[in-house]
Amino acid sequence: MHETKTWTTPNGEQWLWRPAPHVIVTKFRGAMYDASLANLAMRAIEDIISTEPRVDIFHDWEDMELYATPARTLMTERAIPLAPYINTLSVLFGSKVVLMGVSLASIKLGGIPTFTQRKEFEQAVRQAAESPPGTFKLKLPMEE
């Protein structure tokens, strides 16, 4: 629906796309050592939220090897004022190190649902894209 934005550094590569105007998907591959890619992603998310006030955000971080403190701190601090405009925020992860970083951010943000299975993550993205803005409700496997 919307163009994909791509950012590349020696440490990793990040993509951002929108399967629906109110749905944001980011994908990161590599090690997020510093805040440079995090800053670019947050700026793009902030721009989208300025035009779409009830967004569903999905971070596909299955291929992220490291979520270092500077990147996590920047993303968390910038997400706090956006919370009223975020309908759902979820993360797919493959690394326990990344899960630890997401868990620390989750404390400040009031909970971030996580996925470990790509199929369930992609199904949630599709359901959010098919739902009217602000109405998608994440159903975790244990809630079914």
Could you tell me the pTM of the whole model?
0.92
Number of helices (H), then strands (E), belonging to the chain: the values are 4, 6
Q: Domain locations in the chain?
A: 5-131
142 pLDDT above the threshold of 50? no
Q: What is the pLDDT of residue 140?
A: 62
CB atoms inside a 10 Å sphere around CB 137:
11
Q: What is the pLDDT of residues 94-109, one digit of tens each?
A: 998 898 989 988 888 8
Q: What is the pLDDT of residue 58?
A: 97
Complete edge-to-edge strand list for the sheet that includes strand 12-20: 5-8, 12-20, 23-32, 55-67, 86-93, 114-115
Of all residues in the chain, what percent carry a pLDDT higher than 90?
65
Instruction: Report the topology of domain 5-131.
Output: Transcription Regulator spoIIAA (3.30.750)
CA separation (Å) from 91 to 10, 16, 40, 51? 23, 14, 18, 23
